[in-house]
Each structure stands twice: as C-alpha cells, then as structure tokens.
Amino acid sequence: MDAGDARGYRVALIADELVNPAARGIDGLAALESAGWGAIQLPSGDYPDEVAAPLLDLVAEQTEEFTRHGYTVAVIGRRAGLDEALAAYGVSGLPSIEPRSTAALTRFLAQTAGSDPERPL
Amino acid sequence: MPGVAFVAHCLLNQNSKCSGGARCPGVYAPLVAALRERGWQIQQMPCPELAFTGLNRFWAVREQLDTSAYRRHCRRLAKGVAGAIEVHVRAGEDVVLIGLEGSPSMGVHITSSDPERGGRPEWPDGADELSPGSGIFIDELSAELAERGVEMPRATGITHQLPDHHGPGELESIVAILEG
C-alpha cells in the first residue's frame, strides 16, 4: 500500500437509520468517522423490495472484496435480507451490533478494530 | 427544503480507493458536515471500480475502463441507484448527486483522460490527465434515469484529489448545489 494512503482498513455495513439518524438518534456515521472506520450504507427500510434487493446485492459484492483482502468488516444495525445477500457471495459470521447507545457503539468499534490498522493487504 | 444527497461511495468509505488515494481513514468528514448542517439526508452510491477491478487496481484513466463490459457493469449499478433516486423523486423530494472530480468513473465535471495510456504502468510525474467531462458511471446513471423519465439531479463533485483542491471552494460548490 502507498505510504501516503490514509485508509483505516476497517469497514462497517451500517443501517440507514444510523447514517441518517432521527433527532436524538444514534449518529453512527459520526462514530465511524471518529473511530477511523469507513461505511457501506445499507438500503433504507423505506425502499420497496424491488429497489432494495439490487442495492443489497451490490453491498454484498463490495463487502466480499474487503473480506477477501483481510479488512476488518462489521455490521452495525439490522437490515432485512442482508444475511442472505452476503451468503450469496460466501460472506458470513461478521461481527455485529445493534447499538443502544453511542457509547456502546464506540466500545464495539474499538473492540472489533483490533490493534493493527496499518497491516498490508 | 433539504432533500437527499446521493454521494460517491468513497466519500463515506475511503477504503474503497486504489492504493495511494485514501485521504482519510474512512468517512470524508467535510462533506458529511456540510450535508448534516443543512439537514440533508445521505444515500451512498456503490463504487463502480471496487467490484470490477478490485482493491488492488492501478490508477486508471477513462479510456482504460471504457469497455463494453465495464459499461454493462456500470449500468447494472446505475439501475440500482436510479431505482432509489426514483423513489425519492416520485415522493417529491429534492435530490442532488455528489461525485468525485477527476475520477474516470465518478467525475461530474472533470474526469481523467489519456488515450495513449496502457501497457506497463509507468508514466511521467505530473502527467496531464485531467480533462473536462464526466465519468463512465455518471454517464450510465444519466442514461438510466433518462430511460425512466427521471431528470438527472443537480450534481457536483468533491475535489480533494485534484492538484488545485481548495477546501473552502469545494464547500462553496456543495452549498451551491444544495441550495439549487
């Protein structure tokens, strides 16, 4: 990896309601930014199935590329159909959390991140 | 009234960049702050290059990616994104698109072009590859929306990978798009 590259090697599949939180909701995107994680946003639960299904497939396809290269990948929040979409690409068993507070999410990110974010691919 | 901003994948996930391209560990905070402060929702688009040429891809210009296979791939992604855009547009919500200037795939006003580039991946430092135009995914998204009878959203691009990047100027561009 290029020495000037700032990536964190950590990627979270994150529910839409944590990217676009309601007032007083958990700001998952802010937590990821603070902890040095990237985000793959899951389709909104408001989307009809025919819109969400292809988006979930794209999420899974991209996730497989990160897991195959040894990036730390986790799931934050819940999205119906995600497990099936990931399984279609051979991805399962990702660490996950449905956070009840920002503090719980922050702890999870720290525990899941491991200690060596600069590992080579 | 705030609406929904469809943003390039890498703006929420710099891990998707090719080697040397990540400007921060993950989330590009200036964009998120600009959108949040103005009440805009965020929707992330997929990265066209990540799933096609992978994490170990070389930097590329538009001509290297502009094949029938890559356009089919981009159209597949564009169908997914256009479906989501259509949901918001049909609901009467304002939609904008924020890409990545200089990208062969996600450029909005500036892409990368060099018809001669190919073979062993070496070229002079400072090679002038930036050129006016949009990226291949943006082309395909525009075409897909047109087929659905949905107007292409107002669009701009983040400039942080351009040599003349200027943070305040980038923010002005974002705000101008949001304010229509």
A31, pLDDT greater than 80: yes
Closest residue in chain B to residue A120, using alpha carbons only: B19
Give B96-123 pLDDT, tens digit per residue: 999 999 999 999 999 999 998 888 877 7
Residue B180: CB atoms within 10 A of its CB come to 8
Mutation for A interface: B4, B19, B27, B38, most A CBs within 10 A: B27
Least CB-CB distance to B20: which of A4, A37, A69?
Answer: A4
The pLDDT confidence band at residue A121, using thresholds 50, 70 and 90, is very low
B169, pLDDT greater than 70: yes
Give A67-116 pLDDT, tens digit per residue: 999 999 999 999 999 999 999 999 999 999 999 999 999 999 999 997 55
Residues of B with CB under 8 A from a CB of A: 9, 12-17, 19-27, 29, 32, 41-44, 46-47, 50-51, 54-56, 77, 79-81, 83-84, 86-87
Amino acid B24 reads C
Average of pLDDT values for B81-94? Answer: 98
Average of pLDDT values for B42-55? Answer: 96
Question: Of the ranges A25-29, B20-24, B170-174, which is most confident?
Answer: A25-29
Average of pLDDT values for B66-74? Answer: 98
Going from the C-alpha of B57 to that of each of A65, B18, B64, B80, the distances in angstroms are: 12, 6, 12, 24
A117, pLDDT greater than 60: no
For the record, the structure tokens of B34 come out as: 């600009």
CA distance B87 to chain A (A): 7
Least CB-CB distance to A7: which of B15, B46, B51?
Answer: B15
Average of pLDDT values for B45-73? Answer: 95
Pick the closest to residue B49 from B13, B91, B85 (CA basis).
Answer: B13
B141, pLDDT greater than 90: yes
Average of pLDDT values for A27-39? Answer: 97
Query: Which residues on adjacent β-strands are paired with residue A13?
Result: A40, A75
Q: What pLDDT sits at residue A120?
A: 46
pTM comes to 0.93
Helix axes B68-90, B136-147, angle to 10 degrees: 50
Q: What pLDDT sits at residue B164?
A: 85
Work out the end-to-end distance of chain A between its first and last CA atoms, rounded to an integer number of angstroms.
7
- CB contacts, 8 Å: B87 with chain A: 46-48, 51
- How many CA atoms does the CB half-sphere of A121 hold within 13 Å? 19
CA distance B102 to chain A (A): 17
Residues A68, B56 contacting (CB under 8 angstroms): no
CB contact under 8 A, A29 and B87: no
CA distance B133 to chain A (A): 26
CA distance A60 to chain B (A): 10
Going from the C-alpha of B51 to that of each of A46, B46, B142, B143, the distances in angstroms are: 26, 9, 20, 21
A43, pLDDT greater than 80: yes
